[in-house]
Structure 1
């Protein structure tokens, strides 16, 4: 029984969108919140919950400061969760009731530990209709850059001005520019763009318009960025709290930070320890990107021809959903200077002294991790905000180079090799990368901007 007049203990319920790029950063943030003595319950779908637990060691499970629980996603067990829109529709249909029942159950257990705040991914912000009725404060979470949210908030004005139609297609053959200090968006390179697939684009565009409503109704919008790198975009969003980058304080090479969908291969560290300082090309395209076998052949041969050591993350479905077939004799020829793994503990890998550069899809989590470790980029965006992130990396921050496709849409081995050599001989890019690393670390320490914003949020939870 609650003691009369006793202050309510803060209890945060966190709800990510069920995808790797959304679960991992929110879990990092929640660990930080829990380190301040606040109870945190993290809700994944049953399918994602099982993947996260399977990827964690028993020690990590015991030491995890947040409670991990699950709810159904509404799909039959045998369905393919990689087909995104069926999952999105099912989650939207079933999550409100499942979440409502879960919160009532938690609140009924102990009146001193009722849910006081729900942090929901911006893409599932419609659950705030449920949580507000149950008396919890609404806080939105953005795993992508502030610039993306600034653009989303401008959608109604852009439609009214005739820049966009109701499907999110650019009506005028021009750049969309929000500010002099934010890279412009090109036709077919918007976060919701799916050239040639209007149906998919319309569904995604509608999700972004819902996200805009969520941002307006939430008390705070927590974002994995820091003010100094996106000040113009941050200034366009009234209730934004930039609290990134989300960096692990756990430096142990054998321990996971939690939130990964794949078991991290820590054998790469002993291999990295044997490589010269600043020599290794790290190649990873995140959790979603897939490529044709022809394109993967070009990449493999470029890495071989470079003559440099490389660590390549090759998911089991990287070749258009299938296992990669390497060029004849490739693995034997590169065996003495290559390490190929299915999944890597990326943040810790990027912080290793042997890493020279990061060949990346430019997902925002990868961008922030590379930026925070002072590593130059070779940019190979796949979809969504990754093209705009590339513009930040190459044009604004000047810490990387683009890998450009040829007339057949392939990044050729010659293009990849040439850009590797250009990047690794460009001391200006390396110097810029080190400066950004210093800015990132300063922002999350002491009186840094993100550190102070985080304190503002913690104070609001406790008072």
Structure 2
């Protein structure tokens, strides 16, 4: 194990799983550590690194003093630069090739530290899905913290999955496995000015995340349900939202929503959910989206897709009182009814009240002396900077 010398910055290598919903929280944590005095090396896969350069600009990953970006190969053959990576193939490839690639990167960083380019690596912060990093950390005797990006209840569910297999509850009979992928998209800047033109609490925000896919029929039902609700809405529609084909809406739908509906491929979600015009969120219940809606005080309609999203949906709807669930077999009448209830019904008002209570709790947690504030300090003082 390498310890920082007197006056030398501790050096954390942060490596997220290569998907938008994992990169975002890891980047936030890396920024916090940088603010606390750490030198940061933020590691993406080559595919993600190149996508970020295309979406954010050629100099977006140049870094700052003591905050630099690096990359490792994901082991997959070269593909269309804008294609969605297949998650099962990506996970299998990282399991097979990730250890050697990450080990080589750490050894390179060690050599650069000996040349005085940067401080020696003193700790690793890895996404919980990137299990190979633990082996590299043990080999090179570098302390590691595993950062689990989904919800706590979702993590507990994953820890019990082995028991479901052992007891014969899964795999389910006739279970169909669908390959899904996650992309990174350029944020479209027109969303916030458009929201500025709307009344407070009047707009429904719709975003199913970076990985969810649906059928053309489901897309059409969501579209006409939103249109028939007569409520203004901002809908994020990725080009690959529809499985195996482009997401195309009928011309008559576009005509129907003129002036009250905005369709874009990606946006600054945190800023959108904080905007005064947002009154509700139709979401896939990913943990980032769930946290951001809670922090914004925004009630939700949940349409979970996979992983622990069903668990997040249950907590939003049953435990926290901020959500309503829509059936997987989505119908336009149900979409219309739930949107109307969310935006103008009595249940929607109660959900909004509960969401504002959760917003206050979230703000309290990140203030000086709050639980999240203290936990970050403990992570640094008791783990990442520990010399025991």
User: What's the TM-score, normalizing by structure 2?
Assistant: 0.89
What residue is the counterpart of 1:264 in the other structure? Answer: 187
The separation in 2 between residues aligned to 1:60 and 1:451, in whole angstroms, is 28
Structure 2: segments with no counterpart, 5+ residues:
none
Moved more, 368-377 or 12-21: 12-21
What residue is the counterpart of 1:316 in the other structure? Answer: 239
What residue is the counterpart of 1:232 in the other structure? Answer: none
Q: CA deviation at 1:304?
A: 1.0
**Residue 52 (structure 1) aligned with residue 52 (structure 2):** yes
What residue is the counterpart of 1:137 in the other structure? Answer: 143
What residue is the counterpart of 1:374 in the other structure? Answer: 297
Task: Give the 5 Å matches for 1:181-260.
Answer: 196-197=174-175
The separation in 2 between residues aligned to 1:442 and 1:71, in whole angstroms, is 38
What residue is the counterpart of 1:253 in the other structure? Answer: none
Task: Give the 5 Å matches for 1:152-163.
Answer: 152-155=158-161, 159=163
Q: CA deviation at 1:67?
A: 1.2
Q: CA deviation at 1:150?
A: 2.1
Task: Give the 5 Å matches for 1:166-185.
Answer: 166=166, 170=169
- Evaluate the alpha carbon distance shift between residue 199 and residue 318 of structure 1 in structure 2; reply closer, same or farther with a 3 A threshold: closer
CA contact (8 A) 2:20 2:184 kept: yes
CA contact (8 A) 2:203 2:279 kept: yes
CA contact (8 A) 2:206 2:233 kept: yes
From 439, 442, 445, the equivalent of 2:361 is 439
Q: What CA deviation, in whole Å up to 9, does each residue of 1:412-458 have, x standing for no partner?
A: 11101111122222321111000000101111111111110001112
Q: What CA deviation, in whole Å up to 9, does each residue of 1:46-94 have, x standing for no partner?
A: 0011112222256855675631111111121127652222211211211
Q: What CA deviation, in whole Å up to 9, does each residue of 1:105-148 have, x standing for no partner?
A: 11112247111111111111232111222121010011101112
The separation in 1 between residues aligned to 2:14 and 2:241, in whole angstroms, is 30
What residue is the counterpart of 1:122 in the other structure? Answer: 128
The separation in 1 between residues aligned to 2:87 and 2:159, in whole angstroms, is 24
What residue is the counterpart of 1:307 in the other structure? Answer: 230
CA contact (8 A) 2:124 2:142 kept: yes
RMSD: 2.5
Q: CA deviation at 1:324?
A: 1.9
- Evaluate the alpha carbon distance shift between residue 354 and residue 136 of structure 1 in structure 2; reply closer, same or farther with a 3 A threshold: same
The separation in 1 between residues aligned to 2:212 and 2:5, in whole angstroms, is 53
**Residue 347 (structure 1) aligned with residue 267 (structure 2):** no
What residue is the counterpart of 1:18 in the other structure? Answer: 18
The separation in 2 between residues aligned to 1:330 and 1:149, in whole angstroms, is 40
CA contact (8 A) 1:290 1:321 kept: no
CA contact (8 A) 1:116 1:135 kept: no
Structure 1: segments with no counterpart, 5+ residues:
172-192, 202-259
- Evaluate the alpha carbon distance shift between residue 317 and residue 458 of structure 1 in structure 2; reply closer, same or farther with a 3 A threshold: same
SS in 1 for 2:165: coil
What residue is the counterpart of 2:27 in the other structure? Answer: 27
**Residue 417 (structure 1) aligned with residue 336 (structure 2):** yes
The separation in 1 between residues aligned to 2:292 and 2:25, in whole angstroms, is 11
SS in 2 for 1:41: strand
The separation in 2 between residues aligned to 1:26 and 1:195, in whole angstroms, is 36
Count of matched residue pairs? 372
What residue is the counterpart of 1:226 in the other structure? Answer: none
What residue is the counterpart of 1:147 in the other structure? Answer: 153
SS in 2 for 1:348: helix
Q: CA deviation at 1:331?
A: 0.9
From 358, 362, 382, the equivalent of 2:285 is 362
Q: CA deviation at 1:323?
A: 1.7
The separation in 1 between residues aligned to 2:336 and 2:12, in whole angstroms, is 48
- Evaluate the alpha carbon distance shift between residue 60 and residue 75 of structure 1 in structure 2; reply closer, same or farther with a 3 A threshold: closer
SS in 2 for 1:269: helix
User: What's the TM-score, normalizing by structure 1?
Assistant: 0.75
- Evaluate the alpha carbon distance shift between residue 195 and residue 149 of structure 1 in structure 2; reply closer, same or farther with a 3 A threshold: farther
The separation in 2 between residues aligned to 1:60 and 1:83, in whole angstroms, is 26
